[in-house]
Structure 1
């Protein structure tokens, strides 16, 4: 069971949206907040990312750099931190291109970026994503993160010279980029200082318990049965799990059951009795009561609302 993939899939509500951005100095682009998570890939040239929150320093970006904004917060991209910024109102989407295009600035040195956002449900973010830094900055030069670097290079090649198949290849690469980004970030955390989910995914006791919950949310798990899989006493396991995951084992089990149920309601036509059985509830009534407590909507209403969105 790939917990990272499962956690992200549980939050995905649509395909990523992307814009190829070409800036020539002097240029500045103010990007408003987006629903989900934002990302930038520097394909050519250099620029700065300027957070809008006070106390956050501008971040210098170079070719191959990747930035992931966990909650899609607003920010500025510019050739220099002090360059005046305009709002992104000029993105152009053409059926012949796999992504939109935007050109901005003057006649100076060129910077080429891929900018966009992943549609992630921020109303109920998975704690794995919630524990990430607000801004993840990864560098792929000098042999760092070779798989992420390869994905960036492939994207750059397809965007620089679109050919037959590019319309299908580019969205697939952008979709995969999210997993590469998060994998690289988790792998960057030194084992001695890793905490939270960065440590939980590699922990010899907590990781097997998480895998068991994700593989079989319908199983009548207890703290004792999960502790047995972890090879720890009930109390020691509960403390370790809560410390790393951020909530007790049974709370996380309920969270994952409800997350699984919501996904089944959004993406399938399974009757409520089937959804209840797949998420560990003995009756449709017990499931509907638990679901409404978590989401504020009955399962049928949630399904209708999610389909209408």
Structure 2
């Protein structure tokens, strides 16, 4: 798997949630800060304003996409000076709809102009947040443009259609479409960074062919007996220049990132599978179960078996659904 695909697969937990909401002016809705979550807002019809707590209001038009990778608090409103008095929505609120409501959620004002928003949330694993996500700003705004991001617009249209008209298979389609939406948002943002002069960090790493080749090799086969020389060969560079280049862009040495990714992958396998510890050790590059357990405890502060029991205390019981931000 490539880096972006792995980041979504490993860091997202539970089922993402989404719904269409229709507001009639005047209106305003505050969204609480939710650490450990990422939210999105897609303007499907009309226009509104995004009101960040510590920044200038941002006008949003139909087709605009806003991604909040760190669960930052914000407000949507029909006017930049709208005073919002209603309680902020949070993850513990049981909104008046489920994840795949067959009708729009209608938040009526006084019958003024209508704004329709596709809003949603992803639960992330705060204990193993990928550094790629940590480098994102508090808000990623992708303005609508008739000749840009056609794949993102298609994903939004498909998702909105499933929410509007649920049919057999919708329960399986919607989470997949939400993951697709997230991947398109991340892909577009990272692709656009070199044009904006951002030449450091993960944006530069993913757009740097040698470093990207090494990252993809690690993610494609984390169990391989990688060495710095072997990864440098994948990158097409000699050992020393590669190691320096990788550390400068990724933020840690090649083998340091390899170990971090192996332990992150192991934690996911312990959470989501019943595979024995020996099998998991092999999948992340350890021939000895003892060596794997030692490395895992050093990374996570607990033994693999104890970790598995703590994150899956009742394996037979279904995990509770995360609540929407609205």
> What TM-score do you get using the length of structure 1 for normalisation?
0.91
Say whether the 8 Å CA contact 1:92–1:101 is kept in structure 2: yes
Q: Which has the higher contact order (CA 8 A, sep 6+)?
A: 2
Distance 2:161 2:234 in 1: 46
Distance in 2 separating the partners of 1:83 and 1:166: 40
1:155 to 148, 155, 159: 159
State the Cα distance separating 1:140 from its structure 2 match: 2.9
Q: Contact 2:297 / 2:303 at 8 angstroms: preserved in 1? A: yes
Secondary structure at 1:275 match in 2: helix
- For 1:96 and 1:280, the matched residues in 2 are separated by 40
CA distance in 1, matches of 2:151, 2:271: 32
Partner of 1:67: helix, strand, or coil?
Answer: strand
The residue number in structure 1 matching 2:184 is 180
Residue in structure 2 matched with residue 277 of structure 1 by the alignment: 282
User: 2:324 maps to what in 1?
Assistant: none
**Structure 2: 5+ residue runs without aligned partners?**
314-318, 320-326
Q: Is the 8 A contact 1:94 1:100 kept in 2?
A: no
Is 1:164 the counterpart of 2:163 in the alignment?
no
1-structure distance, mates of 2:198, 2:37: 28
In 2: Cα distance, 1:103 partner to 1:20 partner: 11
User: How do 1:25-104 residues align onto structure 2 when only pairs under 5 Å count?
Assistant: 25-34=25-34, 35-52=36-53, 54=54, 56-85=55-84, 86=86, 87-88=88-89, 91-94=95-98, 97=101, 101-104=105-108
Q: Which residue does 1:146 correspond to in 2?
A: 150
CA separation in 1, counterparts of 2:21 and 2:226?
Answer: 49
Deviation at 1:91, TM superposition (A): 2.3
Deviates more, 1:81-90 or 1:113-122: 81-90
Give structure 1 stretches of 5+ with no counterpart.
none
Kept in 1: contact 2:67–2:185 (CA 8 A): yes
Contact 2:162 2:170 in 1 (8 A): no
Report the more deviating stretch, 203-212 or 185-194: 185-194
Is 2:270 the counterpart of 1:265? Answer: yes
**CA distance in 2: counterparts of 1:252 and 1:67, whole angstroms:** 30
Give the C-alpha shift of residue 42 in structure 1.
Answer: 0.6
- After TM superposition, give the deviation of residue 102 of structure 1 in Å: 5.0
Deviations 1:98-145 (A, max 9, x none): 688352433211111011111111222111111112111112322111
Q: Is the 8 A contact 2:18 2:99 kept in 1?
A: no
Structure 1 residue matching 2:178: 3-state secondary structure: helix
What SS does the aligned partner of 1:123 have?
helix
Q: Which residue of 1 aligns with 2:246?
A: 241
Q: Is the 8 A contact 2:29 2:76 kept in 1?
A: yes
* Number of matched pairs: 306
Aligned residue in 2 for 1:201: 206
Are the counterparts in 2 of residues 196 and 245 from structure 1 also a CA contact under 8 Å?
yes
Q: 1:150 to 1:95 in 2, by over 3 A?
A: closer
Q: 2:221 aligns with which of 209, 216, 219?
A: 216
